Amino acid sequence: MMRLRFKKQICMEGGCMLSSSDLLIQIIMLFGGMFGVMLGFYIVLCFIDWLDRVVTEQRWKRWFGYDS
């Protein structure tokens, strides 16, 4: 059996050993991705709310000078 000296060799053989820093980076990236998705949904909801207020309060008539 061959003696493996480096973690890269272990990963190439099929069993991957993660160091604690790699695991920490993966957890941070996971939470960062989840935060990014939630922030994107929040921004979309704020835009929908703004659009609803513009339509219901008929602000667009003032913006475009439409008076009936």
In angstroms, the first-to-last Cα distance of the chain is 88
State mean pLDDT over 12-17: 58
- More reliable by pLDDT, 20 or 8: 20
* Separation in Å, CA 27 to CA 11, 23, 57: 20, 6, 45
- Band of pLDDT at residue 16, cut at 50, 70 and 90: low
Q: Tell me the per-residue pLDDT of 19-67, one tens digit each, with 9 for 90 and over.
A: 777 888 999 999 999 999 999 999 999 999 999 988 888 877 777 777 6
* pLDDT of res. 2: 54
* pLDDT of res. 21: 77
